[in-house]
Amino acid sequence: MDSREFLEWSEKAARWGVEYREKLRDLPVRAQTSPGEIAAQIAPHAPEAGEAMEAIFADFERIILPGMTHWQHPRFFAYFPANAAPASVVAEYLVTAMAAQCMLWQTSPAATELETAMIGWLRDALGLPAEFTGSIQDSASSATLNAVLVMRERALGWAGNREGLSGQPRIRIYASSHVHTSIDRAIWVSGVGEANLVRIPVTGKSRGMDPVALDAAIRKDLESGYLPAGVIACTGGTSIGAHDDTEAVVRVAHGHGLYVHVDAAWAGAAMICPELRSFWRGVETADSVVFNPHKWLGAQFDCSVQFIRDPDSLVRTLAIQPEYLKTSGKDGFINYSEWSVPLGRRFRALKLWFLLRHHGLEGLRQMIRNHIAWAEELYRRLKTDERFEITSEPFLSLFSFRPVVPAGQDEEAYVQRFLDAINNDGRIYLTQTRLEGKLVIRFQAGQFDMRQEDAEMAHAVLSEFADQPI
């Protein structure tokens, strides 16, 4: 592809992106294809000779687009959002065009130094103390793995990487049942093992970890010869928005010398609103915190920020410095590849810079406040509707509910059919979770382009299907 063709197709792709966003409200939110339908249309082998871009682009629209779930759709109320504000998308065009590998300061000084600046901007925006520094990871899963590895190494006196876990005391890490499954995966990958992830009972409407039970579990493990290493607290669990009393959890954990990591992957973005910070009171005393700007804040995926109180412990855990990764003749810089498991790093800071400058913190705060208000209004309408049962109160813009099941119907099958009918309809997209053994439906408002009319559409669709035989 020569420069002229590169320009032509780049312009066409940008125009396509704009037109795609403009017509999203007319498309079903979730892909309506069947398993294997897309694969059946793709050639079984790569072509020997190159093909024209016209044909490739046409096949993208004909084959690929029908099989896409539209995460930027304003009525995407499933999972959590994976927002991509247009300003962030423009920044990603530039990052993709430059295609820099930003693993070291010397491989792109601007990428490293802008990342440091963006960590500072976000730390201040969230009201975190100045002693926190951090880096941009790909996802909260990676940030949590980093934290678990630090917990492991600190507890073992930095011997785990060198000697392995064989023959070492059994490490114990503590969390509630409402943490994300990325915590389970971090426990697996770190070698700690699922049997050593101790689930602490939850209490109250927030379904937060019981600090008394946490203290008792740590003391019991110490008496049994185990090696407590850390606690993973949660602010805004994926299922129904469970949130721990961070202040109390940290007090207990630090009383035993344990490291505390706070997972606020979704809800952390809302803490740019000062009036919401009570939900993670005490976070300033934690050892590390993760939140995902690629969820509610509007940064293009992937973009997860890990704040760290003691970066030296993280670097000691992860850094490897072969000769080919050294920078000679310079000092006073950071190599962020030493702060993460992958060596390779994308230039993720640029989209944050574009996003924060274009919208400003107040513009992003208003978006979040709107989402919370619209979710609460839908919650109030469903709560007073005898056709629905509220199963968890709103936390920020997330709550759960289920239709009232007619007598004689199997409860779980009925709720699943109700949800499937709504998602197959295509006007809105919801997902399920399990709460106290029951299948329930989640609603979360958070898509960047959502308007109040989209919340009203959600109510209309739910009401319509509540009146139909399922």
303-338: burial string, b at 16+ Cβ within 10 Å, e else: bbbbbbbbbebbeebbeeeeeebeeeeeeeebbbbb
CATH code: domain of residue 285: 3.40.640.10
Output the average pLDDT for the chain.
Answer: 92
- Cα–Cα distance for residue pair 361/14, rounded to 1 Å: 27
DSSP annotation of 324? G
For 324, residues 6+ apart whose C-beta sits below 8 A from its C-beta are none
pLDDT at 420: 95
Which ranges constitute the DSSP H helices of 288-388?
Answer: 311-318, 349-383
For 267, residues 6+ apart whose C-beta sits below 8 A from its C-beta are 235, 236, 241, 243, 279, 280, 291, 296, 395, 396
pLDDT at 181: 79
- Cα–Cα distance for residue pair 415/59, rounded to 1 Å: 38
In a domain, 96, yes or no: no
In a domain, 91, yes or no: no
Q: Quick one: 204 and 322 in the same domain?
A: yes
Which ranges constitute the DSSP H helices of 48-108?
Answer: 53-59, 86-98
Domain C-terminal end among 316, 346, 376:
346
| The dihedral formed by the CA atoms of 295, 354, 132 and 340, expressed in degrees to the nearest 10 | 70
pLDDT at 329: 52
Lowest mean pLDDT among 18-32, 175-189, 250-264, 265-279: 175-189
- Cα–Cα distance for residue pair 186/261, rounded to 1 Å: 12
DSSP 3-state of 127? coil
β-bridge pairing 208-209 and 171-176: unpaired
In a domain, 277, yes or no: yes
Q: Quick one: 313 and 425 in the same domain?
A: no
CATH code: domain of residue 377: 3.90.1150.170
For 180, residues 6+ apart whose C-beta sits below 8 A from its C-beta are 140, 234, 237, 238, 263, 265
In a domain, 148, yes or no: yes
DSSP 3-state of 98? helix
- Which domain, by its residues, includes 157? 101-346
Distances in whole angstroms, Cα of residue 264 to Cα of each of 84, 184, 214, 379, 383: 19, 16, 20, 23, 27
pLDDT category, 239, cuts 50, 70, 90? confident
Domain C-terminal end among 286, 317, 346:
346
In a domain, 352, yes or no: no
5-19 pLDDT, tens per residue? Answer: 999 999 999 999 999
Mapped to the 3 state alphabet, what secondary structure does 147-206 carry?
HHHHHHHHHCCCCHHHHCCCCCCCEEEEEECCCCHHHHHHHHHCCCCHHHEEEECEECCC
**Residue with more model confidence, 221 or 183:** 221
Domain C-terminal end among 311, 346, 381:
346
- Cα–Cα distance for residue pair 388/395, rounded to 1 Å: 19
Residue with tokens 């940030």: 143
Q: Quick one: 267 and 396 in the same domain?
A: no
Among 272, 274, 261, 275, which Cα is nearest to 297's?
A: 272
User: What is the mean predicted confidence (pLDDT) over 62-82?
Assistant: 94
DSSP annotation of 33? P
Helices (H) and strands (E) in the chain, counts: 13, 13
Q: Quick one: 219 and 282 in the same domain?
A: yes
- Cα–Cα distance for residue pair 167/152, rounded to 1 Å: 14
pLDDT category, 336, cuts 50, 70, 90? confident
Q: Quick one: 168 and 317 in the same domain?
A: yes
| The dihedral formed by the CA atoms of 388, 461, 469 and 71, expressed in degrees to the nearest 10 | -100
DSSP annotation of 462? H
How many domains does the chain fold into? 2
Task: Say whether pLDDT at 215 is over 60.
Answer: yes
- Percentage of the chain modeled with pLDDT above 90: 77
In a domain, 201, yes or no: yes
pLDDT category, 206, cuts 50, 70, 90? confident
pLDDT at 101: 86
Q: Quick one: 452 and 311 in the same domain?
A: no
Q: Quick one: 257 and 121 in the same domain?
A: yes
Q: Quick one: 276 and 240 in the same domain?
A: yes
Q: Quick one: 77 and 150 in the same domain?
A: no
Residue with tokens 């004909």: 62
Among 107, 184, 103, 112, which Cα is nearest to 144's?
A: 184
126-166 pLDDT, tens per residue? Answer: 999 999 999 999 998 999 999 999 999 999 999 988 888 88
User: What is the mean predicted confidence (pLDDT) over 409-415?
Assistant: 92
pLDDT at 326: 65
Instruction: Look up the pTM and report it.
Output: 0.90
Q: Quick one: 222 and 192 in the same domain?
A: yes
Task: Say whether pLDDT at 330 is over 60.
Answer: no
Helix (H) or strand (E) holding 389: strand 388-395
Among 251, 232, 230, 233, which Cα is nearest to 243's?
A: 233
For 88, residues 6+ apart whose C-beta sits below 8 A from its C-beta are 298, 299, 300, 351, 352, 354, 355
Q: Quick one: 340 and 369 in the same domain?
A: no
User: What is the mean predicted confidence (pLDDT) over 181-195?
Assistant: 89
Q: Quick one: 397 and 364 in the same domain?
A: yes
Contact yes or no for 171/155 (Cβ under 8 A)? yes
Beta strand extents in 273-335 (DSSP E only): 288-291, 304-308
In a domain, 43, yes or no: no
Tally of CA atoms within 13 A in the half-sphere of 239 that contains its CB: 22
Task: Say whether pLDDT at 260 is over 90.
Answer: yes
Among 179, 295, 302, 173, which Cα is nearest to 236's?
A: 179
In a domain, 383, yes or no: yes
